[in-house]
Structure 1
């Protein structure tokens, strides 16, 4: 990816169809559907594509981090992440005859598309291959959170324990 360009990211938050196990869902998506659609995604200019699958073990694993800050485990079976230069990339991909005749209909074999949700936004990588891609504070610590006393745009009188109110 060109680090000087802005990329659009589509996250498809999906559910498996009734009657298949999480393992069957994951196996189908990775071993049948992904090879089926991957070439077409690349052909139309998708620059990053990944899948994150939940299974029967992930709720118990999540309980290890559940607290007041991380309290709600999303109910989705998969999060598919697609990064592209612009929305026209996705529009052209979906208009392709192979998508219409084969890729789109294939979803009925494994997904409950009536429950899927989409999240569209701007892709901003922050760490890649273990390397921080964003600026930090001078001492190597993370930069101060916006609106806190360490933030240079915050009022000088604000103490760390006080929220900064912008009027």
Structure 2
């Protein structure tokens, strides 16, 4: 990704189709649907694509961090994250004949698109490969402009032991 450019991020918050297990849903998305659509996403300029799947174990895991600050577990089965240069990238992708004839209809096999929700906003990576990409405000380094991607080759480092000022 070009660190000087602003990128748009689409998060698809999806649900599995009734009648399939979380494991079947994840397996289909990763081993059938992803290979089916991946080349088309790359062809149209998607620069980052990932999936986060919930399963039967995640509610119990979430209970370990549940508190007054983090108290509501979202009901979605998957969060698909797609980062692109602009909205026209997504529009062109969805207008492709292969998407219309094959990729779009494939969703009916594993997902419930009627319940899916979308979050569209500006992509701002903050840590990459364990390296802080933003200024802590304590080291004098300038933070990247909002909506731009920090240069991963020149990460801003901050000691883990820094104390955060109380407001």
Label 1:141 to 1:64 Cα distance change in 2 as closer, same or farther (>3 A): farther
Label 1:146 to 1:64 Cα distance change in 2 as closer, same or farther (>3 A): farther
The structure whose RCO (Cα within 8 Å, separation 6+) is larger is 2
Superposed CA offset, 1:11-55 (max 9, x none) = 000000000000000000000000000000000000000000000
Query: 1:137: Cα distance to partner?
Result: 3.3
Residues 59 and 73, structure 1, Cα contact 8 Å, conserved in 2: yes
Larger C-alpha radius of gyration, 1 or 2? 1
Residues 9 and 120, structure 2, Cα contact 8 Å, conserved in 1: yes
Superposed CA offset, 1:130-153 (max 9, x none) = 000000133699999999999999
Single out whichever of 46-55 and 151-160 deviates more from structure 2: 151-160
What's the Cα RMSD here?
A: 7.7
Matches of 2:162 and 2:147, distance apart in 1 = 10
Residues 131 and 157, structure 2, Cα contact 8 Å, conserved in 1: no
TM-score with structure 2 setting the length: 0.83
Number of residue-to-residue matches in the alignment: 167
Matches of 1:133 and 1:21, distance apart in 2 = 38
Q: Which runs of 4+ in 1 moved over 3 A?
A: 139-167
Residues 136 and 142, structure 1, Cα contact 8 Å, conserved in 2: no
Label 1:65 to 1:110 Cα distance change in 2 as closer, same or farther (>3 A): same
Label 1:151 to 1:102 Cα distance change in 2 as closer, same or farther (>3 A): closer
The answer for unaligned runs of 5 or more in structure 2 is: none
The answer for unaligned runs of 5 or more in structure 1 is: none
Residues 134 and 155, structure 2, Cα contact 8 Å, conserved in 1: no
Residues 124 and 147, structure 2, Cα contact 8 Å, conserved in 1: no
Label 1:144 to 1:56 Cα distance change in 2 as closer, same or farther (>3 A): same
Label 1:109 to 1:165 Cα distance change in 2 as closer, same or farther (>3 A): same
Residues 5 and 148, structure 2, Cα contact 8 Å, conserved in 1: no
